[in-house]
Chain A
Amino acid sequence: MNHSISLTVNGVRREIALHDPRVTLLDLLREQLDLTGTKKGCDRGQCGACTILVDGRRINSCLALAVSHDGADITTIEGVARGDELHPLQAAFIAHDGFQCGFCTPGQIMSALGLINEGQAGCDAERIREGMSGNLCRCGAYDGITEAVLEVQQTLAADKERRVA
């Protein structure tokens, strides 16, 4: 049975025919839309490598059926830079050595974007670590990841203060 859905992926509206309701958002992105930046780690919701934003919220795309997300607005790692200009989080991950092998990095950055959108952690390193606990890093680059997210949070907070003043 065919199921058709429409998704907005990184700002582009796509009409998608699903030939099987078992397809997850993760497999749809990687296998059907050739967006392989989103990684398949555990495929069971434990590692966070597949984190994407759906309607602005971070979720594990491996545990989301595509057929259930008709009309969703999806952002993947391919959609965060502006052309050749890196997103501040991407630049901060490089500046702070927030990765080694890089496999978890797209999920880490999408999760950090979600964390910042949620606005619950602020510039508290412990709240950032807690808020990022759904993203595992096999290389153990956690210190750099925390520093990168903290730096972007601090920059955002300073910008906000400047705007208010």
Chain B
Amino acid sequence: MKSFDYVKPASIAEAIAAAVAPGAAYLAAGTNLLDLMKGGVSRPDRLVDVTHLPGLDAVERLSDGALRIGALVRNADLAHDAAFARDYPAVAEALLSGASAQLRNAATVGGNLLQRTRCAYFYDVASACNKRVAGSGCDARGGDNDMHAVLGWSEGCIATHPSDFCVPLVALDATVEVEGKNGRRELRLEDLHRLPGTTPEQETVLEPGDLIVALRLPAAARGFASHARYLKVRERTSYAFAVVSAAAHLTLANGRIAQARIALGGVAAKPWRAREAEAALAGQEATTQNFRRAADVALAAARPSGDNAFKIELARRIVVRALNLAAAGTPERIAALPASPFSIHPGALHDA
């Protein structure tokens, strides 16, 4: 690992001042950053440790009914917060389907949003990667790319965003509070991550020194609590990133869908909100046939970026299944294998 200066600021203002410098990076739990530094993928000159900053680890209900989650709240603490899991069950399920218990105990809410792609060519410093070194090329295009993006990718980059947490969050219109050298601002989580285009090295809209201080779920997000699911296909049952995942939220009235909220994971460089599919379901009956039509709409613009045409059909089926599960109702308790479509019991739908 390359050496670095370690800075431990006492306040957010001090942190921002220290992190504006070129080559500086924020350190929270470090579960992704230290891994990247050990591989030489990230080579910061200065680490600004924000883990001890006061006031960033609270979960609070705001007067407008929104929930504000401090950026340093640990993934496991949020998922196991009973009130949180009751109000936002698909978010809790997504959190519990990610990484391992050890990593969830350390990893923070803010860090989860900013984790980097797991594209193997991004991780391998001997490979060409436009995201790691701008203009160097993309070895994933002609390489092992069956896990890569099917939506929003460009000739320059076909990597996906790996977060599970972000998928139901973006479906629920979550926003992010950012503090930077010009003060505090709020932006939609949907607008935080960029699609690659011709500048895949620019992954987010954050500026040097910007620090995510909190995440907000608007008051309306609680309205989906009784029909909310997250479903995630992995190459093994646990402790793996999504091949494809989907968050489905519904409100039902008189047997019809009032509102739908759908987002996909593992398919693009950002958590992918499927607004047109949501609109297609409004006022419709909650039937598999209608869900299938919505899934077709959600994946209408998808195209393979390599050996991954299968992901398009897989994504359609996961959307249909997640919607069916959401329509059936949120289970009382999160399944033993969170978000898994499989069961160790042959023939059983363990997640149902």
Contacts and interface: CB of A to CB of B under 8 A. Distances in A.
Interface in B92-116: 99-103, 105-106
B239 interface: yes
B31 A63 contact: yes
Contact of A67 (B6, B31, B237, B344): B6
Given A63-B106, A65-B30, A68-B27, A115 B101 contact: yes
Contact of A44 (B38, B338, B344): B38
A67 B38 CA distance: 16
A138 interface: no
B3 A20 contact: yes
Interface stretch (A8-16, A53-61, A84-92, A157-165): A53-61
Interface in B202-237: 237
A59 to B, nearest CB: 5
Nearest to A22: B1
A130 B338 contact: yes
B4 A22 contact: yes
Interface string A122-159: 00101101111111000000000000000000000000
A97 to B, nearest CB: 21
Contacts of A132: 101
Interface string B49-77: 10100000000000000000000000010
Interface string B226-255: 000000000001110000000000000000
A98 interface: no
Interface in B300-336: 336
A48 B30 contact: no
Contact of A130 (B39, B99, B336): B336
Interface in A81-121: 111, 114-115, 118, 120
- 7 closest Cβ contacts across the A-B interface? A134-B100, A133-B238, A21-B6, A126-B336, A133-B239, A57-B105, A127-B336
Nearest to B49: A68
Interface string B244-268: 0000000000000000000000000
Contact of A111 (B29, B35, B99, B102): B102
Interface string B26-53: 0101110011001100000001010100
A22 B102 CA distance: 21
A3 B4 CA distance: 13
Interface in A38-61: 43-45, 48, 51, 57-60
A134 B31 CA distance: 13
Q: Which size bracket describes the interface of B in this complex?
A: 20 to 34
A64 interface: yes
A149 to B, nearest CB: 12
B20 interface: no
A60 B49 contact: no
A75 interface: no
Q: Which of A21, A51, A131 has the most CB of B within 10 A?
A: A21
Q: Which of B4, B76, B103, B105 has the most CB of A within 10 A?
A: B105
12 contacts: A22-B1, A22-B4, A24-B34, A45-B102, A48-B100, A58-B102, A59-B105, A68-B27, A114-B102, A132-B101, A134-B101, A134-B239
A107 to B, nearest CB: 9
Contacts of B100: 48, 133-135
Nearest to A136: B239
Nearest to A58: B102
B31 A45 contact: yes
A114 B101 contact: yes
Contacts of B76: 57, 118
Given A1-B5, A68-B27, A111 B101 contact: yes
B337 interface: yes
Contacts of A59: 102-103, 105-106
Nearest to B37: A22
A124 B3 CA distance: 45
A60 B102 contact: yes
B101 A45 contact: no
B40 to A, nearest CB: 12
A134 B102 contact: yes
